[in-house]
Amino acid sequence: MKHVTIRQGIPDVETYLTLKRAVGWPIPDPEAAATALANTRCGFLVQSGNQTVGMATVHGDGVLYFYVQDVIIRPEFQRQGHGTRLMDAVMRHINKHARDKAYIALFSAKGLEPFYARYGFTARPTDRFGAGMFFIKGGKESEQRL
């Protein structure tokens, strides 16, 4: 396992775009990325030496609604426990700030649902809750089926 540290912080735009590119996710324009990062409630960085090799962001009102976004570990650092440590940090932050009955959500990459289920996330639809829904403004049909 490669040695990494996890710290609270938000990446700069270049690092953010580089990480998204590394895992094959759609890349927003740099101005939109800068605005999104500036409006991020909380973030976490995974670092190996002076290189950022992963990240996660938390959005929402910080009390009742939390949305976990951009949980990314560079491919060469995956499957070494770093994603677990990253999500542990995210969930510690959320559990510290979330009030009773808070709603915590995320979109899982295909195949990673069991990973997030360990943190209490439930795939939808269920008998009680309908399917989660989304769209990507201006996105090509293929991008909407991430």
Number of domains in the chain: 1
Over residues 73-88, the mean pLDDT reads: 97
CATH number at residue 124: 3.40.630.30
Signed CA dihedral, 19, 24, 27, 33: sign only? negative
Q: What is the pTM of this model?
A: 0.89
pLDDT at 140 over 90: no
pLDDT at 1 over 70: no
**Residue 33: which domain range?**
5-144
